[in-house]
Every structure is written in structure tokens, then in C-alpha cells.
Chains A and B, each alone.
Chain A
Amino acid sequence: MTRLLPLALLAGLALLPLGLDANPYLLNALITTGILTIGAMSLNLLLGFTGQLSLGHIAFFGIGAYVSALTSLGFEVELGFGIRVVHEPWPAALGFLLAVVAAGLCGWLIGRLSFRVRGAYFVIVTISFAEVVRLVALNWVELTQGPLALTGIPALTLGLPGLGSWTLRTKVQNYYLVLAVGTLCYLMIARLVGSRFGRAMRGLKENESLALSVGINATRTLTVAAVISAAMAGAAGSLYAHYLRIIDPDVFLFATTVTMVIMVVGGGKGTLMGPVVGGLVFGLLPVALRPVMAPEAQWIVFGLVLIAILFVMPRGLVPGLAGLLTPRRRGEAPTGSAIQPVEVRS
């Protein structure tokens, strides 16, 4: 069941464009949803598996988008002290790789900075980081064109030596690219979560003192998780830039982070399929709402749905529905409700 569902979903998604008859509006919605879902999967690695709520996740996504765009567009900036940096355009695929590396480095930096302090502090540091990056993107006009946006970003070109190369210009091509990257990220996360590293993350989330006492290095584990998570978000950002071919500082909006958080929490944080299901549901929800209501009203619905999920299905759609489908075994103890005696302080 747990293995069949992802495979069935993958098969369905792979066949979907045939059924859609290349409807550009729906394909576009699916591609942007897919890109955000990759972002949500990467956020889930932190939020779901380590329990650290990163509310600045969009920073890694946006950094990926800008690094990738600037690498493939080229730029020329004055750094002061008479130092000029001139960068000639590179292939977009290299931009993708650099986006992954740059976002990962930022993840490392944020991890080193903020994992000494957790909880509310971590949340606020990540938000702050995203705002600083947004303000840089807005104000460093020489590099980023500021609010005028970076335009004419080339499409990604995939090439294998000896086999020729393809430039991904059509929506269908981009759809399959996003699906492939998404599947790869899913598989990587699945491997990580089931490994020694995944157990260390779970241990830290469930009982940090105990995890330390069996020799798990908290700072290292969380920082590595942040690096991988940020790198994946950077990859999603790069896909976004090369698909839309235009990005502006609005790519860093807090609202996008909130969308990803809703996807993770709504789908089921700490589960592999949660962000995928949540991503599809909440990514496509605006498509369904669009004919019936204004964008402001859509956001009101989003907010209400988030609140409703937290009240009704606090663990998210996937675990919630799975719980409904599997009949409760007789005599099964309710989880997490072990009665423990009051601690005797000594």
C-alpha cells in the first residue's frame, strides 16, 4: 500500500499531459504546482523530520532562482574599491548546479547560525534571512535589476555527450523535467529518512536529550538537514526561473513560504507522501477557486483551510486519511498517551 500509492501517483502524473491534450492553462498550473511541491518536500525535511519550522524557506528557493538566472544571463557589477566583476553567460544547466550549491551553502550558514538556538528563535531567524535577501534583490539594482525583474532567462538545455541536447521550451517538456526532478528528490528524501541519518533526525525531534545521550550530534545533524533541504529548494527555484524566464524580488514573498508550509502541514508533515499530496491539493486549489472567487477571497479560504486542518486533522491529510482507512486493531493502545508519573525532582 505504502509502496503502491507513490508509484500509482507517479504513473498517473506521467500520463496526465496526454489526457490534458496540452491544455496550456492546466499544464502551467501543474508545472508551478510541481515546482512548489518540490519546495514543500524540501521544507518537510526540516519541518517534518527534524521539527524545525523554517519560515524563510523561500529564501533558498529565491536564491536558487537568482543564482541560476544570473549564471545563465551573465552580469557585470561594481563591488566598490574599483573591483569590477564581469560574468559571461554560462549554460543554463550549469546555472542549475550552481543554484543547488549556493542554496545549500546558505542552508549551512543559517544552520550554523541558528541551531544553537531553536524553536521560536529559529523561526524568526529564518524569516529575517528571507527578508534580508529580498531587500538585497530589490535594492542591488546593478546585479538584479531590482523591481524591473531579470528578463530573458534562457530555457534549460539538457545534453548528454554524444547524444545531442534538448532545450526545454514547451510546457510539456518542462512538465516532465519538473516531474523527474521531483521524483529524484522524493527518492533521495526516502533514502535519507530510512537511514541512520533519518533516525538521528527523528531521535532529535522526539527526545533531544535522549538523542544526545546516545551520541547523536545535534548541531551536525540539523545543519546537514538544513543544507540538503536548502539545496533542494534551490533546485526548485532554478526550475522556476528557467520555466518562467523572468523573476523579480517578489519571488521572495513570505506568502510563498506560507503556501509551502500549508502544503506540508496540510498533507502531513513528517511523512514522505504528505507534501506531495498536500502540494497537489493546495497547489491546484487556486485553479479550482479561480472561476468562483477573487484572489483575496482565495487567500481567505487558504487561511481558513489551514486553521481547519490544524483543528480537525492536526497530523495532515495523508496520516488522517490513512487512519480513517485502516480499521483500528483491537486492544491497540492510543499512541503517545503513556501516563507517566510526575517527576520527583532531586
Chain B
Amino acid sequence: MDQLLQHLVNTLILGGTYALLGIGLTLIFGIMNVVNFTHGALYTMGAYLMYLAVTALGLGFFLALPAAILGGLLLGAVIEFVLLRPLRGSDIDTTMLVMIGAGIVLQSGTLWIFGGVAKSVPTPFPDAPLHLGPVSVSWLRLFVLGAALALIGLTYALINRTRLGLAMRATFQDHDTAALMGVNVRLIYTATFAIGSSLAAAAGALLGPVYVVFPQMGGLAELKAFAIVILGGLGNITGAAIGGFILALAEELGAGYISSGYRDAMGFLIIIAVLVFRPTGLFARAERIG
């Protein structure tokens, strides 16, 4: 029972960052119809930016986090502007392959610059964990959960409460009509990709200090983000948020009660199960056909 409680607490903490990853990816897919294969690389970038900001720039942990997120935002905007904007109107496979190419460049570039040795990000939190009854949590992880939830809340507010969010939702519904109504669709695409990328970078900047930072860390994260997005239904933001927590739960329970070697397999087994039983994701609404 105590063990189960500990797993549930771990699920919450992991789930928050997974939700960030998933929301970023599903936002980009939903609005732009792009399967973003740079998502993992942006996650890695977020972690390295965090590492650089803390160690090389000496920004301090709490300033380094927004700096890393801002870095992800800018990088995303550049990728969209340079690679995706000229490809608007080409088929989904082409953009997918270009994104794969960009992901390779980013990941290999990181490896080239920083080398393969894992880095750890120093944190200001005490080493001693917080004990809450039978459960123990490190202060760092608690901060990660809080920051992730705050960012999820911010994203929701951005989409539901701002003019930019309104324009994004309109573009999501129907980009042609949105364009007719005076929405600058090209700007919305850039903004969407930048925001989605910043969420990936945020996830990396938050999880990087918890584990270690290394160039290939984005590969698995990206595949997990796909799992989350499929779980929630492509383009469904709330679905992705919930999907993040479900994946975290599956991983925690899988690692705790089945075998830790198969922790990372859970996401993929979930994908396969979802596709067998509910191909449109767990939270799909009825769609209009034809």
C-alpha cells in the first residue's frame, strides 16, 4: 500500500512533464497538421539550455528555467520560419521527413558540441527529501510538478483567454475560414510551433535536473510524446494532458510491478492497445465524416 502511494506520487510528478510534452506536440499537430519530429530534439535543447544557463551563464536555477523556455520558443519560431513555412501545402509525409532531417541535425549538433558525456544540472534544493507519511519526495521533484502544472495552466489560459488563443482555435477549426476572417494564419502557425516547442523545451529543462542531460535523451521522450498524443487523440489538448498522466501511471506501475526494463515499453503497448480498441484516442468526440 505504501509502495502504491509512492508510485502514485511519482506518477503525478512524471505526468506533469509528460503532459507538457504531449500538449506541445498535439497543439502543433492539431493546428498545423505537422507530425513534429523535432520535438525530442527541442526537449533535449531545453535541458541543455537549462544546463548552460545555470553553469556557464550563472543565471541561477529559477531564472534559468524561463530562459530555457524562451530559448525553445525562439528555436521553434526559427524552425517554423525556415523549414515549415516554405513547405506549406506539401503533403504531411514531406513535412514529416523534413522534420526528421531537422531533428537529426539538432541531435547530432548537440552531440558534436557537448560530447556524449552526460551532464548534471546543479540545483538549489536540499538533498534531503520531504517525508509525507509513508511517501518521500525530493524538493526538486515537487518544484518540477508545481512548475509543470503552472505551465499547463498558462497554456490553457493562453488558448482560452487571449486573442492569440482565439485565433489559434479558429485556425484549428478551419484555417481557410480563419484566413477569410482576417486571422494572419502564417503568424498563427509560427506562434503555434514556437509555443509547442517551448513546451517541449520546458519539459526538458524540468526533467534535465531531475535525471541527467545527454544528447540522446530526446529520442525516447519524443516517442513517449507520440504515445501521449495518440492516447489523447491527435490534436486534443485536454486529451494530451490526461494522456501524460496515464502514461506516467502505466510506466510507474509497469516498472514497479512488472519489470523496470519494460518501463519504456509501456507507452508503446498503450499505443498499440489504443489503436486496437479505440483508434481515435480515448477522448475523441464524434467527428463529422465526408
A interface with B by C-beta (< 8 Å): 51, 53, 113-114, 116-117, 119-121, 123-125, 127-129, 131-132, 135-136, 138-139, 254, 258, 261, 265, 294, 296-297, 299-300, 302-307, 310-311, 314
Contact = CB atoms under 8 A, between A and B. Distances in A.
A259 to B, nearest CB: 10
A310 B94 contact: yes
B234 A138 contact: no
Contact of A311 (B86, B109, B227): B86
30 contacts: A113-B275, A113-B276, A120-B35, A120-B96, A121-B234, A121-B279, A124-B35, A124-B226, A125-B272, A125-B275, A127-B226, A128-B226, A128-B227, A129-B268, A258-B100, A258-B104, A261-B100, A265-B97, A296-B108, A297-B112, A299-B104, A300-B108, A303-B102, A305-B101, A306-B104, A307-B98, A307-B101, A310-B94, A310-B98, A310-B101
A305 B105 CA distance: 10
Contacts of A265: 97
A51 B92 CA distance: 11
B78 interface: no
A113 B98 contact: no
Contacts of A314: 90, 94
A181 to B, nearest CB: 27
Contact of B272 (A120, A129, A294, A307): A129
Interface in B69-92: 83, 86-87, 90, 92
B268 A132 contact: yes
A332 to B, nearest CB: 23
Contacts of A304: 101, 105
Contacts of B109: 296, 300
B29 interface: yes
B27 interface: no
A120 B234 contact: yes
A231 to B, nearest CB: 21
A294 B109 CA distance: 11
Interface residues of B, number: 42
A37 B149 CA distance: 47
B5 interface: no
Contacts of A302: 101, 104
Contacts of B101: 302-307, 310
B83 to A, nearest CB: 7
Given A120-B29, A121-B279, A307-B105, 11 more contacts: A53-B96, A117-B275, A120-B92, A123-B96, A131-B264, A132-B272, A297-B108, A300-B112, A303-B104, A307-B83, A314-B90
B265 A131 contact: yes
B54 interface: no
B182 interface: no
A128 B105 contact: no
B38 to A, nearest CB: 11
A294 B275 contact: no
B105 A139 contact: no
Contacts of A300: 104-105, 108-109, 112
Contact of A135 (B108, B230, B265, B279): B265
Q: Which 9 A-B pairs have the closest CB atoms?
A: A303-B104, A128-B268, A139-B261, A306-B101, A303-B105, A299-B108, A296-B112, A307-B101, A303-B101
Contacts of B268: 128-129, 131-132
A113 B272 contact: yes
A307 B102 contact: yes
Contacts of B269: 132
A311 B95 CA distance: 10
